[in-house]
Structure 1
Amino acid sequence: MSAARPASRTPRKPTPWIRHGIVAAVVLVLAAGGVYAYRKREAAVESGAFRTVPVERGDIRVAISSTGTLSAISTVTVGSQVSGQVTDVLVDYNDPVKKGQVIAHIDPKTYEAQIAQGNAQIASARASLSQAQATLLNAELDYQRKADLGARQLVARSDVDLAKAALDQARAQVNAAQASIRQQSASTLTTQVNLDRTVIRSPVDGVVLTRSIEPGQTVAASLQAPELFTIAEDLAKMKIELAVDEADIGQVRTGQNVSFTVDAFPDRQFRGTVEQVRLSATTTSNVVTYPVVVTVDNSDGTLLPGLTVNAEIEVSRRDDVLKVSNAALRYKPADEGDAAANATPQAGGPRGGSGVIDDLARTASTLKLNADQQAAFDTAAEAIRARQAARQAQAAQQGGGNRLFGGGGGGGRGGPPGMVVMGGSGAGNMQAQMRQRMAERLKEDFATFRATLDDAQKKQWDAALSAQLTAKRAPLYRLVDGKAQRVMVRIGASDGTSTEISGGDLKPGDAVVTGERAKE
């Protein structure tokens, strides 16, 4: 009897609800992954594929650094015009002195002896004069007698001539004696002057800085006056001579503020004013510098002559302006073409010429305008803004670039309205032509307003208008919806860290790109 054969099992098929559960689980996993990837991508955008800094409103201070030495406004070297032995020194270092005060004596005996000798010679000359005058009187009487006798033919004519000659000789002797007296008197006066010079006096009010003589020392003034003292006149006012590099000297003007420090007082900052920009250049190791004189108030006597100064000349100051970090101006995107495409002006985008009008409005606010002048400015500004708005609307409808003052379009590179940004050799000429057209149009628009200004206001207005038209322009990349949007701005003063900007419809708090983050 054969063994029984086990029955084979039929495999169970999964029920439908299990299949549906598996599909649902897969869908959920895929959905979760998609959501996670989406959120991660959005987080990456939000957290920033770019490094940014905000546009700020504040002050810009531009300063030139230089070094120099403190000294008195006027330093007088006191010397001696006569030779001799110093008998007395009446002042010492740091002593205050007054003008005319005796500060030293030189032995006067030599000059006193010369004066005595001169007085004796004068006395002798006066005695000779008396003798000559007596001789002259006798010669006059003799000549009168002989002239009378000669007229009556009682004496020879030759005797009359001899008497006349004797009279002339007597007169000459009198004149010679008088001349000798004057000569001796002049010589004695010269000696008296030298005697007075043996008393050394201070020529100014001031302080003795140096003393180069001691009692008993002999000074010789044969070729040049020996230096005995150095006196600083009025240390309450001092000066600094700064050496300013030729690259910076064009920005320095009389009246600019200067702040400086000295090593003797490291925790204190002092202030001065540019008094003079000298034209005498100095060349040292092929470096050309110009001396700039700065006056300093030293009423408290803190500063000392000879101190080394580290100074900053404030050549420009802009208050309450928009500014941005210099890193934002240096940034250039890796794909310039994509960034340029984003620069097409949108609604409320770059305003270009409106920035010029806003800057000019700030200038007008400093001119102290009366009501009529302000009304004339507002009328011109509103007319310009209305014309810009109309042209921007027309350009938006046509899909073209913005235009300013009838100028060229913004261009494919996203340049500011009224300016074509282009490469090649024609870029400079094109920009020059645009600036010229802008200048002519602005002058025409504000002609009525300018006519209401006085001469001083016109000068300030013309300078501001010229500065706006010649201002440099540079691209910035504003972060909009996670994308870098290129805008053109006018750049102004820079303090080395931040730079003044205007235009581009930027406002405080806007994020501008300074760099791109590394991809993970």
Structure 2
Amino acid sequence: MSQTRRPRSTFPLRKIGVAVAIVAVLAAGGYFWHKRGQADAAGGYRTETVQRGDIRVAISSTGTLSAITTVTVGSQISGQVTDVLVDFNSPVKKGDVLARIDPSTYQAQLEQGNAQIASARASLAQAQATLKNAELDYRRKADLGQQKLVAQGDVDQARAAFQQAQAQVNSAQAQIRQQTASLKNTEVNIDRAVIRSPVDGVVLTRSIEPGQTVAASFSAPELFTIAEDLSKMKIELAVDESDIGQVKVGQAVSFTADAFPDRQFKGTVEQVRLAATTTNNVVTYPVVVTVDNTDGTLLPGLTVNAEIEVSKREGVLKVGNAALRFKPADGSALADMKPEGAAQGGQNGGAGRGPGMGEDLQNLAATLGLSAEQKAAFDGALQEMQQRQAERAAQAQQSAQGQQQGGSRLFGGGPGMRMGGGQGRGDAGMMAQMRSRMRDRFNQQFSAFVATLDDAQRAKWNAGLDAQLNAKRVVAYKLANGRPQAVMVKVGVSDGSSTEVSGRDIKEGDLIISGERAATESK
């Protein structure tokens, strides 16, 4: 009797599927409400979060690897190459024989020169014998002439023969010197028939073969190229004129080569050359980078992609560049906001540099290694400066209130009124004047403190003060308890996506407004 099997129930699988679907819906809903809650907290603004991290600023460029010193070996004589003793990549030492040229012609000239010297010496011996005979004849006739036994004409003739013989001896001696010099020149050419390495290094190129004729006429033909030392190499980078001001000797350089895509190499800026090159109206400057190639990995001629690290800031506050580029629309609530101390900055010519400046000066003074007396002088000057700033802030606030009331009565305006026209053209000159006035004011306020510094401290103080005055400061808008607030921040280095920021009103985790959400975004 057959028995029919009942199919397994699919009810547990259905229960699992329904549970998974419910979890997915709940997760999606939670994410939606979380993002909506963030948008509500931001009050309809897009924001960037202030984070703490590192900022590395680098300049990119390309270049070619080469030996630090490359020597071209040529030939100073003409002739047929009989031997070539080295090849490509051959290591050589100074004085090693690289090649030989057939010296037969010069050896024949050497034998001919030796024969000419021997002939000249024989002529000298004959002239010396003639001179001796002429000298004896002249003395004999001179004695007889004093005794009136020979005519004076015979004496004179003997003197002339003696002088001629002396001249012949001098001529023969000069001939010997001339032949000797010619012989030495031939010997030098015979020595030049052996091509030797002038340095220790490696043969990069070889352009001759045995049996080839070398013709050295007006210029020496290039036979070999020798790299003096491949354990140290260099890269010549072409850096754009807009970036060259940031490049300094000693800066670190990292680069890659297509031949070794998985490796990154290091180098150091050795020289910033002044010889600019203009190509298609683009001005570049050569920057020489030295590279350690002790392991022999890198090869001459490789094209490299390099980055010159011009600045590296570690553990600083940074924010996305969009937050610093944000400008509120005219007439919006943000447009009328001013950071604390902005009014005072406008009155004193500081362009809003008052907030946080005291803290910056304290940080600068901390790097000077001040004594107790110097520290007391600094604290006194800083306290006086802050007191004057507070007085100017109060005066500026009263003045602003008066202008607001007068404006509303006479012109129907208010605090939101903006002065327009002609600002862009004079901004640079105006800021330079402001910085000059601020520098004079600081020099006056801290004159007693500066007088206590030694030369090294004074130089460091002046450099740091100039850096503070020249630092760029911008108005940013942060969300504090869900409400926007204008703050003044000092801008530092940027890597293209994030920028270093600092200030007393900004800290890690702050939300900085980078844009206003559209109506469709807020919903």
Out of 205, 218, 224, the residue aligned to residue 223 of structure 1 is 218
Shift of 1:499: 1.4
Greater CA drift, 390-399 or 366-375: 390-399
- 1:238 corresponds in structure 2 to 233
Greater CA drift, 350-359 or 482-491: 350-359
Shift in alpha-carbon separation, 1:376–1:336, aligned structure 2, 3 A: farther
CA RMSD of the aligned region, Å? Answer: 2.9
Shift in alpha-carbon separation, 1:497–1:365, aligned structure 2, 3 A: farther
State how many pairs are aligned: 465
Matched, 1:90 2:90: no
Query: Would the aligned equivalents of 1:92 and 1:208 in 2 still touch at CA under 8 Å?
Result: yes
SS in 2 for 1:324: strand
Tell me the TM-score normalized by structure 2. 0.82
Shift of 1:138: 0.6
Matched, 1:380 2:381: yes
Shift in alpha-carbon separation, 1:430–1:144, aligned structure 2, 3 A: closer
Larger Rg computed on CA atoms: 1
Shift of 1:378: 3.8
Out of 164, 168, 181, the residue aligned to residue 169 of structure 1 is 164
Shift of 1:150: 0.3
Query: Would the aligned equivalents of 1:340 and 1:412 in 2 still touch at CA under 8 Å?
Result: no
Matched, 1:204 2:205: no
Shift of 1:100: 1.4
Q: Kindly provide the amino acid, as one letter, of the partner of residue 40 in structure 2.
A: V
Task: State the alpha-carbon separation in 2 of the partners of residues 437 and 136 from structure 1.
Answer: 98
Shift of 1:184: 0.3
Matched, 1:479 2:479: yes
Task: State the alpha-carbon separation in 2 of the partners of residues 206 and 344 from structure 1.
Answer: 66
Task: State the alpha-carbon separation in 1 of the partners of residues 164 and 487 from structure 2.
Answer: 109
Post-superposition CA distance 1:226-267 (Å, at most 9, x none):
111100011111111101112212222222222211112222
Post-superposition CA distance 1:349-396 (Å, at most 9, x none):
999424223333333344444554444434433443344456556767
Out of 319, 324, 336, the residue aligned to residue 324 of structure 1 is 319
Query: Would the aligned equivalents of 2:267 and 2:290 in 1 still touch at CA under 8 Å?
Result: yes
Query: Would the aligned equivalents of 1:104 and 1:200 in 2 still touch at CA under 8 Å?
Result: yes
SS in 2 for 1:235: coil
- 1:425 corresponds in structure 2 to 422
Task: State the alpha-carbon separation in 2 of the partners of residues 62 and 220 from structure 1.
Answer: 54
- 2:132 corresponds in structure 1 to 137
Task: State the alpha-carbon separation in 1 of the partners of residues 319 and 415 from structure 2.
Answer: 25
Greater CA drift, 86-95 or 380-389: 380-389
Post-superposition CA distance 1:44-69 (Å, at most 9, x none):
53265112122223333222111100
Task: State the alpha-carbon separation in 1 of the partners of residues 504 and 419 from structure 2.
Answer: 18
Query: Would the aligned equivalents of 1:324 and 1:498 in 2 still touch at CA under 8 Å?
Result: yes
Query: Would the aligned equivalents of 1:114 and 1:191 in 2 still touch at CA under 8 Å?
Result: yes
- 2:359 corresponds in structure 1 to 358
Pairs within 5 Å for 1:276-355: 276-343=271-338, 345=340, 352-355=353-356
Greater CA drift, 311-320 or 134-143: 311-320
- 1:77 corresponds in structure 2 to 72
Greater CA drift, 141-150 or 215-224: 215-224
- 1:494 corresponds in structure 2 to 494
- 1:468 corresponds in structure 2 to 468
- 2:26 corresponds in structure 1 to none
- 1:514 corresponds in structure 2 to 514
Tell me the TM-score normalized by structure 1. 0.82
Query: Would the aligned equivalents of 2:65 and 2:299 in 1 still touch at CA under 8 Å?
Result: yes
- 2:30 corresponds in structure 1 to none
Post-superposition CA distance 1:197-231 (Å, at most 9, x none):
01111111111111111111111101211111100
- 2:59 corresponds in structure 1 to 64
Shift of 1:309: 1.2
Shift in alpha-carbon separation, 1:146–1:431, aligned structure 2, 3 A: closer
Shift in alpha-carbon separation, 1:355–1:319, aligned structure 2, 3 A: farther
Task: State the alpha-carbon separation in 1 of the partners of residues 57 and 239 from structure 2.
Answer: 15
Greater CA drift, 361-370 or 186-195: 361-370
Shift of 1:128: 0.5
Percentage of pairs with the same residue: 68
Greater CA drift, 237-246 or 362-371: 362-371
Out of 36, 40, 46, the residue aligned to residue 51 of structure 1 is 46
Task: State the alpha-carbon separation in 1 of the partners of residues 298 and 401 from structure 2.
Answer: 65
Q: Which sections of structure 1, spanning at least 5 residues, go unmatched?
A: 1-39, 402-410, 415-420
Post-superposition CA distance 1:136-191 (Å, at most 9, x none):
11111100000000011000000000100000100000000000000000001011
